[in-house]
């Protein structure tokens, strides 16, 4: 039985179509693999950029916090110094004014007043120190939160 030419052409066409389909499938797999590698590379680049930005942000925030804490400490020291100096001047002026021609009773009252003023100064100093400690704790807490970021 002789083979029909159309039948032979159909067989060849089907064979060529299968080869083209297999080649297209290989090309698709290769392209998908390349795409996965490209996506992975982009994800890695994004992760690196985010980490670098976070580190830079952390450095900037830490520096800002250190500067702010230093400014607060300097301000508190300056306020404390002015407060202490003013209290000492006021105390000295008051004692000089009262020291002239005082009786023993008045001198005793002056000593009591001196003790009272010293207690007041101690309380004011303690309050100023507590305020500075609270302020430093707040800044330190904020700095710790930034470090966690």
- The model's confidence at residue 1, banded by pLDDT at 50, 70 and 90, is very low
pLDDT tens-digit profile of 52-104? Answer: 999 999 999 989 988 988 888 888 888 888 878 888 888 777 777 766 656 66
Taking the CA of residue 73 as centre, how many other CA atoms within 13 Å lie in the half-sphere pointing to its CB?
Answer: 11
CA distance 127 to 65: 24
As a residue count, the chain comes to 149
Mean pLDDT, residues 108-129 taken together: 80
- Do the beta carbons of residue 131 and residue 83 sit within 8 Å? no
Please, how many CA atoms are within 13 Å of residue 72, restricted to the half-sphere of its CB?
18
Tokens 């942000």 identify what position? Answer: 57
Looking at every residue in the chain, the average pLDDT score rounds to 83
Query: What is the reported pTM?
Result: 0.38
pLDDT of 8 over the 50 cut: yes
Output the six-digit token pair for 33: 């693999």
């Amino acid at each position: 039985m002789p083979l029909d030419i159309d039948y032979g052409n159909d067989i060849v066409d089907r064979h060529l179509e299968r080869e083209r389909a297999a080649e297209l499938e290989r090309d698709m797999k290769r392209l998908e693999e390349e795409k996965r590698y490209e996506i992975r590379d982009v994800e890695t680049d994004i992760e690196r950029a985010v980490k670098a930005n976070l580190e830079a942000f952390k450095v900037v925030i830490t520096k800002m916090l250190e500067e702010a804490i230093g400014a607060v400490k300097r301000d508190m020291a300056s306020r404390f110094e002015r407060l202490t100096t003013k209290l000492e001047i006021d105390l000295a002026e008051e004692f000089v004014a009262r020291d002239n021609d005082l009786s023993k009773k008045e001198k005793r009252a002056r000593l009591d007043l001196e003790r009272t003023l010293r207690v007041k100064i101690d309380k004011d100093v303690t309050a100023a120190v507590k305020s500075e400690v609270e302020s430093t704790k707040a800044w330190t807490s904020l700095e710790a939160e930034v470090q966690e970021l």
